[in-house]
Amino acid sequence: MMSEKLAIHGGPKAKTTENYPMYPGGLEIGDEEKRQVLEVLDNQYLFRYYGPANCESKVKRFEQEFAEKMGAKYALATSSCTGALISSLVACGVGPGDEVIVSGYTFFASCAAIVAAKAIPVIAEVDETLTIDPDDIEKKITPATKGILVVHMRGVPCDMDRIMSIAKKHKLVVIEDCAQAVGAMYKGKFVGTFGDCGCFSFQYHKTITAGEGGMIITNDKRLYDRCMSYHDTAACWRPDRFAEQRYEGELFCGSNFRMSELTGAVMLAQLQRLDGLNARMRDHQHRIIEQIKNTKGIKVRPCYDAEGDTGICLMFYLDSKDKVEPFVDALKAEGVNAAGVFNAGIPDWHIYAHWKHVIDKKTPTEVNCPYDCPYHTKAEPVEYAPDMNPNTLEYLGRVVHLDIPPQMSDEDCDMIAKAINKVAAVLA
Ligand SMILES: Cc1ncc(COP(=O)(O)O)c(C=O)c1O
């Protein structure tokens, strides 16, 4: 069969409709968000713990609804996922002298949170799912390893069975970074409920959003209380503000990662949209995959539980990294918003090889905490290099990424699939 003339070579475009930006919940902000926010303003009740009148806190209500939705016992709202991660690490007892294994493909914040908790990040490989490779976790465990920070990257769940069994065997804590995977599931259970703590982001690019915001979920009351202490400077707002600590280790000086009532109000409305957004993104993703799954020269990113993928994006592999740039350029010319992922020359904060501050062990003071740590005695110094995780760079070098905005129509999906097939016929 003759291949069609590509748009990049002067042929007609396969996709002629508008492309939506990737702000899934952000683009749906409407009457319910306005109503909730106006209620906060009308009541002049902007701080979760008090105000002029006796109002129900929106943040508290959001925590209750989020916990119920995810099937977790406790939820603590925070100002960001970074704050949620730091609070969770501290609550789990991670600190000076500890190593925490983290995925090499994640937003830099996952790694920075470990350093902020004064522990040393050990950066692990991802496998073909682009989530942390359980085999590499096992290789990177040392006597100093205290935990694993796994990232359900780009909407797909990690291999939680393997990860939890490794953690159990080596007595490690597990923090799940679900920033990009709110509503993702693994074997029928929401991600964030497998490890000790699950952390979420409501930053503007995320599925549901208030511009900024985060959440911690846990089933462990002690961890919840310790997260509460850390996220609120000095645990002022436990049941009784001035009460003595209820057990050794409950009270200590923390930070301030509290969520504002305005954020809580927007998030209450956004949470109602979560299932609908994920259903639309999943439908779109499936519709495109159905049409490209047998296309020669491309392989859709595998997943540990395809049913649990939130569908926020479509990622597929080409058989060589050299094909990615021409493929992406051709897709763009067809009218499709596509991107390559790893290119050594183009910085991207989601790939460890670009995390210069970690690789160079940059710290704010000359003491060089946590890297030169007198408590890090049980293992060799941790060293970094841009090429230390070759599998990760190999996978990311061959992958093509497309966002799947929920606002797209079936027609948009069909045109995207057509464009991919058209370009693959010539360039894959
Ligand atoms: C995987 C991952 N972890 C953590 C974060 C940090 O989230 P926040 O901006 O809410 O602190 C992000 C945000 O982009 C992320 O994508």
152-196 pLDDT, tens per residue?
Answer: 999 999 999 999 999 999 999 999 999 999 999 999 999 999 999
pLDDT for residue 347? 87
- The answer to whether the pTM exceeds 0.75 is yes
Please tell me the distance from the alpha carbon of residue 281 to that of residue 272, in angstroms, as a whole number: 16
Pocket-testing residue among 107, 111, 209, ligand 1, by greatest number of atoms within 8 A of Cβ: 107
pLDDT for residue 378? 82
Please tell me the distance from the alpha carbon of residue 303 to that of residue 284, in angstroms, as a whole number: 17
Instruction: Give yes or no for residue 381 having a pLDDT over 60.
Output: yes
Instruction: Give yes or no for residue 273 having a pLDDT over 80.
Output: yes
Mean pLDDT of 325-344: 95
Pair 246, 263 in one domain: yes
Please tell me the distance from the alpha carbon of residue 330 to that of residue 343, in angstroms, as a whole number: 17
Domain-located, residue 368: no
Q: Which of the following is catalytic: 140, 206, 321, 323? A: 206
Pair 302, 415 in one domain: yes
Torsion sign over Cα 83, 85, 88, 89: negative
Instruction: Give yes or no for residue 239 having a pLDDT over 70.
Output: no
Instruction: Give yes or no for residue 254 having a pLDDT over 80.
Output: yes
Nearest residue CA, atom 16 of ligand 1?
A: 107
CA of 85 to the centre of ligand 1 (A): 9
How much of the chain exceeds pLDDT 70, in percent? 98
Pair 96, 232 in one domain: yes
Instruction: Give yes or no for residue 361 having a pLDDT over 70.
Output: yes
Pair 311, 196 in one domain: no
Residues with CB under 6 A from ligand 1: 80-82, 106-107, 109-110, 151, 177, 179-180, 201, 203, 214
Other Cβ atoms less than 10 A from the Cβ of 315: the count is 21
362 included as an active-site residue:
no
CA of 27 to the centre of ligand 1 (A): 19
Joined together, the tokens standing for residue 204 give 């503007």
Instruction: Give yes or no for residue 234 having a pLDDT over 70.
Output: no
Mean pLDDT of 329-353: 93
pLDDT for residue 241? 74
Mean pLDDT of 334-350: 91
Pocket-testing residue among 79, 82, 259, ligand 1, by greatest number of atoms within 8 A of Cβ: 82
Instruction: Give yes or no for residue 351 having a pLDDT over 80.
Output: yes
| Residue at a domain's end among 273, 292, 307 | 273
Instruction: Give yes or no for residue 119 having a pLDDT over 90.
Output: yes
71 versus 240: the higher-pLDDT residue is 71
How much of the chain exceeds pLDDT 90, in percent? 90
Joined together, the tokens standing for residue 224 give 């919840």
Torsion sign over Cα 154, 155, 159, 160: positive
Please name the amino acid found at residue 98: D
| Range from 138-142, 171-175, 379-383 carrying the lowest mean pLDDT | 379-383
Pair 321, 215 in one domain: no
| Range from 237-246, 291-300, 414-423 carrying the lowest mean pLDDT | 237-246
Question: Cβ neighbours of residue 116 under 8 Å, at least 6 residues apart?
Answer: 82, 86
pLDDT for residue 188? 97
Site of tokens 């710290």: 363
Domain-located, residue 358: no
Instruction: Give yes or no for residue 1 having a pLDDT over 60.
Output: no
Q: What are phi and psi of 342, to 5 degrees?
A: -110, 125
Pair 106, 13 in one domain: no
pLDDT for residue 152? 98
Pocket-testing residue among 105, 130, 203, 208, ligand 1, by greatest number of atoms within 8 A of Cβ: 203
* Number of domains into which the chain is organized: 2
CATH (domain of 304): 3.90.1150.10
CA of 210 to the centre of ligand 1 (A): 14
Pair 340, 259 in one domain: no
Please tell me the distance from the alpha carbon of residue 43 to that of residue 29, in angstroms, as a whole number: 21
Mean pLDDT of 266-274: 98
Mean pLDDT of 97-101: 98
* Structure confidence by residue, pLDDT tens digits, 204-233: 999 999 999 999 999 999 999 999 999 998
Q: Rounded to the nearest 10 degrees, how much is the dihedral formed by the CA atoms of 157, 154, 130, 394?
A: 180
| Residue at a domain's end among 251, 273, 295 | 273
Please tell me the distance from the alpha carbon of residue 206 to that of residue 404, in angstroms, as a whole number: 12
Pair 57, 153 in one domain: yes
Pair 204, 293 in one domain: no
CATH (domain of 194): 3.40.640.10
Pair 238, 323 in one domain: no
CA of 82 to the centre of ligand 1 (A): 6
Site of tokens 């009541």: 43
**C-alpha 204: how far from chain center:** 13
**Residue of 334, 241, 324, 268 whose CA lies nearest to 75:** 268
Calculate the average pLDDT of the chain: 96
Domain housing 329: 7-25+274-344+392-427
Please tell me the distance from the alpha carbon of residue 24 to that of residue 1, in angstroms, as a whole number: 39
| Residue at a domain's end among 216, 249, 273 | 273
Question: Residue 147 forms beta bridges with which residues?
Answer: 100, 173
Angle formed at CA 164 by CA 159 and CA 167, multiple of 5 degrees: 125
pLDDT for residue 251? 85
Pair 129, 250 in one domain: yes
Please tell me the distance from the alpha carbon of residue 191 to that of residue 278, in angstroms, as a whole number: 14
CA of 203 to the centre of ligand 1 (A): 7
